[in-house]
C-alpha cells in the first residue's frame, strides 16, 4: 500500500555512507515499552545505557531525553554532545538544539550537521549573509560535498543573485549521480527568477533522470503558467498511467488551476525546505532513519505546511510505533493536497493498530466518499476488517473496491485473493473458489493463491492432482515459506503418502516452529507412521502455541486419547 515519494535515488548510497561515520547507533524497530517514567538514571553511565537501549529499540524520543541527561552529568563529552544534538533535532527540539550546535562548531568548525542547522536558523530568521557564510564551511569533500553548494545556491537565490546561484550549483552537474538533483534545483531557481525557458530545459533534464512527483509537478506547473496546458496534460497522464492508483498525484486537479498554477516553491526559503526534503528521502532510502528525521525536521522548520515532508515525518514516527504523534501529523496535512488522502489511509492503519478499529473504518469510509474513484481506501478497509475477522464487511469493502477498477485487471489480483479468503472464512466456498481462480488468471505465479487454492482442494478431497501441482509450484516459488511447505506436506498426507508428509512437515516446522497448525499436522503425520509418542508431543506443543479457537477441542481430544479421531483434522 505504501508508495515511495523518493527523488534522486542514485544519491542514496552516497548519503548513507557519508553519514554512517558520524551517526549514532541507529536501528529500526518498535518504540521501547514498559519504561517507568519515575525511574531516572542517577549517573552518566546509567543515562547513557538507558539512551543506547532506547535508541537500539528505535525510540529516538526517549534516546534524546536520556542522552541529554547523560550530557548534563558529563557536559564536556563531545560524543554525548553529538548524539544529544542529533536526536534533539530529530525530535524537533530545534531551538533547544541550537546552543549545542554553537558549542560543537566552536569545537570543530567543520562539523556538518551543526553547521547546517545553524545555517537553517539563519535563513529562518532572515540572516542570509550569515547563512551563506555558514554554508561555505560545509565539507567540500566526500559524500556530502554537494550540501554546501546546494544550500549556498538557495541563499544566493533568496538575494536575487540567480547567476551566482547557478554557478554555485554547477559542481553538482559534474557528478552523474547528482545530475538530476542539480537540474531540479536549477530549474526551481530559474523558475523563481522568471527565466521560464531555461527553467523548462532544466526540468526536462531532471525528468529524464528520474520520474518523481515533484519534478513532474514543477514542469507541469510551468507549462500551465506559460500557456501550454496540453504539454502539462501529457506529462500528468503519462505519470498516472504508470501509477494508476496513486493518491499522491491528481493531474486533473492540477490542470484545473490553468495559468494560475502555483510555482512549485513560493520562495527561496521553501526551496531550501525542498532540498531538506530531498535529503530526508534519500537518507531514508539509505536506511538512516535518524538523519531522515533530522532533514525532515529542518525542512519543516522553514516551511511548516510542506505536505510531503509532513507525510514523511509521520511515516517515520509510525515506524517507531509512535502512532498518536504520527496521526496528529497526518491530520495536520492540508486536506486540499493529495498527500492528505494518503495520510488518511496511513492514519487509519495506525488507528486499527492502536485498537481503534471503528475510528479507522470511519476515516476510510469518509475518504472513499470524498474520493469516489480511489481504490486504496476500500482495499485498506477490507484488509482491516479481515484482520479483525469481520469477514462480511471485508467482502463488501473488497467488492466495492473491485467495482471501481473497471473490470478484472492484473494489478488487482490480490483484491480477488483477499476477497476469496474472506468468502472462505464465511464458508461460502463456491464464491471463494471463483475469486481464487480469477486471481490466478490475472497472476498465474501468485504463490499465495496457488497455495491456498491447492490446499483447499486437497482438504476438500477434490482436484487432488491439480491441487498438489499448484502447491508444488508454490513451494518452488517460495521454498523458505513454512506455510507453503506445510501445504505440500498436508497434500502428501491427504493423498496417503505419510512418509513423504513427515519429511515435508518436519521441514515446515523448522521454517515456522511457532505455528500451531503446522505442529499439529506434523503430529498427525507422526501418528500415521506409528510414532505415537512423538505425535502426542507435537499435539501438546501445538496446544502451547495459541491455536485458533476451532483447533482447540480437536487438539485437546488428541492429547487426551493419544490418537487421531476418525476424521483427519483440517485447517
Look up residue 80 and give its three cell numbers. Answer: 554525548
Give the single-character DSSP code of 9.
Answer: G
User: What sign does the CA torsion over 197, 198, 201, 207 have?
Assistant: negative
Over its length of 571 residues, how does the chain's per-residue pLDDT go in tens digits? 333 333 344 444 444 444 444 443 333 333 333 344 445 677 888 888 998 998 888 888 898 899 889 898 889 999 999 999 999 999 999 999 999 999 999 998 878 999 999 999 999 999 999 999 999 999 888 778 899 999 999 999 999 999 999 999 999 999 998 999 999 999 999 999 999 999 999 999 999 987 689 999 999 999 999 999 999 999 999 999 999 999 999 999 999 999 999 999 999 999 999 999 999 988 887 667 889 999 999 999 999 999 999 999 999 999 999 999 999 999 999 999 999 999 999 999 999 999 999 999 999 999 999 999 999 999 999 999 999 999 999 999 999 999 999 878 999 999 999 999 999 999 999 999 999 999 999 999 999 999 999 999 998 989 999 999 999 999 999 999 999 999 999 999 998 999 999 999 999 999 999 999 999 999 999 999 999 999 999 999 999 999 988 899 999 999 999 999 865 544 4
Look up residue 249 and give its three cell numbers. Answer: 498525484
154 contacts 142 by C-beta, under 8 angstroms = no
Helices within 303-337 (DSSP H only) = 307-319, 323-332
pLDDT of residue 283: 84
Q: Alpha-carbon distance 337 to 488, whole Å?
A: 49
Torsion of CA 220, 223, 226, 227, to 10 degrees: -110
CA distances from 235 to 158, 208, 256, 320 (A): 29, 12, 15, 36
Look up residue 571 and give its three cell numbers. Answer: 485447517
Coil, helix or strand for 549? Answer: helix
User: What sign does the CA torsion over 27, 33, 37, 38 have?
Assistant: negative
**Cβ atoms within 10 A of the Cβ of 360, count?**
24
Distance of CA 221 to the CA centre of its chain: 28
Longest dimension (CA), the chain: 87
Contacts of 534 (CB under 8 A, 6+ apart): 523, 526
Half-sphere CA count of 474, side-chain side, radius 13 A: 27
Q: Alpha-carbon distance 478 to 267, whole Å?
A: 51
Give the single-character DSSP code of 74.
Answer: S
CA distances from 70 to 57, 76, 236, 331 (A): 18, 11, 52, 35
Burial class (CB in 10 A: 0-12, 13-18, 19+), 103: middle
How does 240-258 read in b/e, with b if 16+ C-beta sit within 10 Å?
beeeebbbbbbbeebbeee
pLDDT of residue 502: 98
In the chain, the domains with their CATH numbers are 447-571 (1.25.40.10)
Burial class (CB in 10 A: 0-12, 13-18, 19+), 163: exposed
**Cβ atoms within 10 A of the Cβ of 128, count?**
17
Amino acid at each position: 500500500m505504501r508508495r515511495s515519494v523518493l527523488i534522486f535515488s542514485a544519491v542514496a548510497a552516497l548519503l548513507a555512507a557519508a553519514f554512517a561515520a558520524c551517526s549514532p547507533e541507529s536501528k529500526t524497530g518498535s518504540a521501547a515499552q514498559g519504561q517507568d517514567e519515575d525511574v531516572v538514571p542517577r549517573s552518566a553511565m546509567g543515562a547513557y545505557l538507558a539512551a543506547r537501549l532506547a535508541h537500539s529499540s528505535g525510540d529516538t524520543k526517549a534516546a534524546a531525553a536520556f542522552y541529554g541527561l547523560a550530557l548534563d552529568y558529563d557536559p564536556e563529552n563531545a560524543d554525548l554532545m553529538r548524539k544529544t544534538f542529533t536526536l534533539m533535532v530529530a525530535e524537533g527540539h530545534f531551538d533547544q538544539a541550537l546552543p549545542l550546535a554553537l558549542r560543537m562548531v566552536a569545537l570543530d568548525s567543520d562539523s556538518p550537521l551543526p553547521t547546517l542547522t545553524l545555517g537553517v536558523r539563519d535563513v529562518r530568521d532572515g540572516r542570509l549573509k550569515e547563512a551563506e557564510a555558514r554554508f561555505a564551511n560545509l565539507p567540500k569533500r566526500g559524500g556530502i560535498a554537494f550540501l554546501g553548494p546546494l544550500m549556498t545556491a538557495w541563499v544566493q537565490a533568496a538575494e536575487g543573485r540567480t547567476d551566482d546561484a547557478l554557478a554555485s550549483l554547477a559542481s553538482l552537474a559534474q557528478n552523474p549521480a547528482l545530475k538530476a538533483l542539480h537540474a531540479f534545483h536549477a530549474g526551481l531557481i530559474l523558475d523563481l527568477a522568471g527565466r521560464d525557458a531555461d527553467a523548462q530545459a532544466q526540468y526536462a533534464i531532471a525528468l529524464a533522470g528520474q520520474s518523481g512527483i515533484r519534478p513532474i509537478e514543477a514542469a507541469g506547473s510551468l507549462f500551465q503558467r506559460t500557456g501550454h496546458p496540453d504539454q502539462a496534460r501529457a506529462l500528468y497522464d503519462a505519470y498516472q498511467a504508470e501509477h494508476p492508483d496513486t493518491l499522491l498525484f491528481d493531474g486533473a486537479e492540477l490542470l484545473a488551476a490553468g495559468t494560475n498554477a502555483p510555482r512549485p516553491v513560493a520562495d527561496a526559503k521553501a526551496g531550501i525546505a525542498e532540498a531538506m526534503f530531498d535529503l530526508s528521502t534519500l537518507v531514508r532510502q539509505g536506511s538512516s532513519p535518524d538523519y531522515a528525521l533530522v532533514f525532515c525536521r529542518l525542512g519543516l522548520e522553514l516551511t511548516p505546511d510542506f505536505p510531503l515532508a509532513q507525510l514523511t515525518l509521520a511515516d517515520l514516527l509510525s515506524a517507531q510505533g509512535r502512532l498518536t504523534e504520527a496521526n496528529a501529523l497526518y491530520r495536520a496535512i492540508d486536506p486540499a493536497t493529495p498527500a492528505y488522502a494518503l495520510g488518511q489511509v496511513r492514519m487509519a492503519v495506525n488507528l486499527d493498530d492502536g485498537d481503534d478499529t471503528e475510528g479507522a473504518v470511519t476515516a476510510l469510509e469518509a475518504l472513499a466518499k470524498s474520493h469516489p474513484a480511489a481504490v486504496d481506501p476500500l482495499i485498506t478497509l477490507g484488509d482491516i476488517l479481515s484482520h479483525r475477522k469481520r469477514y462480511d464487511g471485508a467482502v463488501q469493502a473488497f467488492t466495492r473496491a473491485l467495482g471501481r477498477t473497471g473490470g478484472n485487471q492484473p494489478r488487482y489480483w490480490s483484491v480477488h485473493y483477499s476477497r476469496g479468503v474472506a468468502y472462505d472464512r464465511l464458508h461460502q466456498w463456491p464464491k471463494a473458489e471463483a475469486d481464487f481462480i480469477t486471481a490466478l488468471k490475472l497472476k498465474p505465479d501468485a504463490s499465495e493463491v496457488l497455495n491456498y487454492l491447492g490446499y483447499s482442494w486437497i482438504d476438500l478431497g477434490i482436484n487432488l492432482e491439480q491441487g498438489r501441482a499448484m502447491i508444488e509450484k508454490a513451494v518452488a516459488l517460495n521454498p523458505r515459506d513454512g506455510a507453503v511447505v506445510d501445504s505440500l506436506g498436508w497434500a502428501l498426507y491427504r493423498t496417503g503418502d505419510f512418509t513423504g508428509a513427515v519429511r515435508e512437515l518436519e521441514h515446515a516446522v523448522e521454517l515456522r516452529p511457532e505455528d500451531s497448525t503446522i505442529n499439529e499436522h506434523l503430529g498427525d503425520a507422526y501418528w500415521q507412521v506409528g510414532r505415537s509418542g512423538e505425535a502426542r508431543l507435537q499435539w501438546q506443543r501445538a496446544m502451547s502455541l495459541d491455536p485458533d479457537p476451532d483447533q482447540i477441542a480437536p487438539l485437546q481430544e488428541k492429547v487426551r486419547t493419544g490418537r487421531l479421531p476418525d476424521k483427519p483434522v483440517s485447517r
